[in-house]
Amino acid sequence: YTPPHRNMVQRNLKRLHSIHVSRLRNTLKNVKHIALTAYFWSDRHQNSFFFITGHYIEDMVSKTTILHFQSYDKRHSSSQIASEVYNCLRELGIEQKVTSVTCDGAQNMKNAFDMFDGADRLWCVAHRLHLTICNGLALWKKFNKAEDNSNTNGIDSDESIDVKTSLDEYDTEMVQDGSENEKMDRAIDDYDDEDEENQDLITDSWGDSIATGDIANMDIDEGDNEQDTPITKENLAKTIHKGRQLIKTIRRSQILTMFINNEKKGLKITCHLIMDCITRWNSTYLAIKSLQEHKTVMLNLFENKGKLPIPTKQKEKLTLLEISSDDWTLINNLIYLLKPFYEATSLLSGTKYPTIGLRLFAIQNIKEYLEKEDDDQSEILTTLKKFVLQSLNEYFDENDPQYKLLVLYGYFEPLGYSILSTAEKTKIERGIKQKSKELSKAPNSNTVASASSISSAHISQSATPKSNINTQNNNNNKRLASFLKSIDKYVPNERASTKKISEEISLYGSLCRSNSSIDALTFWKVNGDQMPLLKEMAQVYLSTPGTSVPSESAFSTSAYIGRKERARLSPENLSYTVFLKDKLLSSIN
């Protein structure tokens, strides 16, 4: 076998890229509306890449494709990003079809997509949940030498404890269906080969949203003294920090690693100790859960550390990092607290079903979970719930325009509909009826505009019109109606249209109440023909991803393709390869 020369591979990549861009353009001609996710990524050589995915529903089947993946050597300013996105959309012929963009909360991304008329910008809920946990519990508080009793710099320079976590690590936790243990094992396996110094992972643009300063003594409520509670954020942060440094110390020592592996064999423990990362969703939950699974192993380590052939200074370090019974109790409560966030992120990270409507359902249920206080609930868990609930209310403020979009998009998902208040449903339905009137007057108007206008007119109270297009359309519709009436031609019956949409809304509410557990696509596939107007709108909203997972999972693929063990790819060839991945796979299948 004679492998192809790299020049041949490069030529074929360019040829295939050109072919599939043309095919993609033809495919998108038949798409009425499309939602986007967008993200930036930097590889270990600090080459920056910009990525856009497209999402639409066709015959109630969710479709996802890579629209754009390209190296990006310009400034990451909002105007530059907006220009880049618009040029990409115009090249594909979909610049007028975009209904929404899901992205992170970086200011440049927010400003860039706020420039697009008619498209809603939605913040990735998984990012916001992660910020809720990290800032609510002060998980990444930095310790200085004076306050960190476990800091042993100078004891062993080869294994000194580094309390400053790098923001250069990033990878999205992709969890597939399966049992909790299977998901946990897969997640741990994914992390096992990753060290905190690994530079192949993703550098994101939102890590600085996590507070790392002295926020440990933030009050739960005004006038509430945290010192009277069974646990403070200061103690919590120190316990997490101690566990984090213990795992790091073990992974950096061959002798300690061998001891741990031998103990695991005897106890038949199959999972691995993993490191968490400040920008990796659920990583602290996975890290402390792996630590808890190794509790017996850790107790044996601390008991036998004097017999191990390691330097005295390293034994002293282990003594400082020894986890007390109070620490274990706190870790157990923290695992219980964080599990719903882990499961919610897994639910919202799906790519084979609509996730946008599930966002509101997940948030509301997490809020109820945090507010609920069982009779047998420990004081520690009660306090932890208060910490996180305060943070959740700040990140998901009901007066925030993003939360109002959360409500709007949740309406078309049976599970989301089931938790809306009567007032919220009434406001949304009023907007739907108004838009139905406009559509009945203008047969050629599209549903994309209806989705956007419902959002701006009836959900975001602070929104202001960006153009007078709607006014012009109304004037044209009146002239058309007058002309048709003058020649005895059909004039659309506004009352009949209003009555029809009212009947659809009533039927939809009835069906949601009896089918709230069914997934959204199946619901609309079965019942959509009875509600054609609502079905068309549902396809617009449900095509929007609830998280930016589609973009970030592609970055995981990029990091793997461009890893240092592989032949080095130029930024251009890496872009071609990632863009072609889903196209070539679909052609094979």
Determine, yes or no, domain membership for 480: yes
CA distance 302 to 308: 10
Residue 552 shares a structural domain with residue 532: no
User: Is 434 in the same domain as 452?
Assistant: yes
The b/e string for 25-63 (b: 16+ C-beta within 10 A; e otherwise) is eebbeebebbbbbbbbbbbbeebbbbbbbbbbbeebebe
- For residue 57, list its beta bridge partners: 62
Whether residue 388 is found in the same domain as residue 422: no
Q: Which of 364, 395, 426 is the last residue of a domain?
A: 395
**So what's the pLDDT on residue 47?**
79
* Residues 225 and 357 grouped into a single domain: yes
Let me know if residue 129 belongs to a domain: no
Q: Is residue 107 part of a domain?
A: yes
User: How far lies 107's CA from each of 104, 112, 123, 202, 309, in Å?
Assistant: 9, 8, 11, 19, 52
Q: How many CA atoms lie within 13 Å of 109's alpha carbon, on the beta-carbon side?
A: 23
Report which residue type is found at 370.
L
Instruction: Looking at the structure, tell me whether residues 538 and 469 fall in a common domain.
Output: yes
Task: Kindly state whether residues 373 and 425 are assigned to the same domain.
Answer: no
Averages of pLDDT over runs of 10 residues in the chain (589 residues) are 78 88 94 91 78 91 89 88 93 94 89 90 92 93 57 36 29 36 41 38 45 42 50 92 94 94 93 90 95 96 93 93 95 96 91 87 94 90 96 93 92 93 94 82 50 45 39 56 56 53 93 85 92 93 87 61 59 78 71
Residue 263 within any structural domain of the chain? yes
- Asked if residue 144 belongs to a domain, the reply is no
The answer as to whether 407 is a domain residue is: yes
Same domain, 523 and 560: no
> How many independent structural domains does the chain possess?
3
Tokens of 394: 């700040």
Range of the domain at 53: 6-124+548-588
Instruction: Identify whether residues 303 and 268 lie together within a single domain.
Output: yes
363 and 424 together in one domain: no
237 and 348 within one domain: yes
Examine residue 197 and state whether it is found in any structural domain, yes or no. yes
Domain end, chosen from 353, 372, 395, is at 395
Q: Do 462 and 530 lie in a common domain? A: yes
Per-residue pLDDT, 4? 77
- Whichever domain contains 76, its CATH number is 3.30.420
pLDDT at position 560 is 55
Q: What is residue 221's predicted lDDT score, i.e. its pLDDT?
A: 38
Cβ–Cβ < 8 Å for 405, 427: no
- Choosing from 334, 364, 395, the residue where a domain stops is 395
Closest CA to 208 of 130, 279, 280, 137: 279
Q: In terms of domains, do 429 and 383 share one?
A: no
Residue 47 forms part of a structural domain: yes
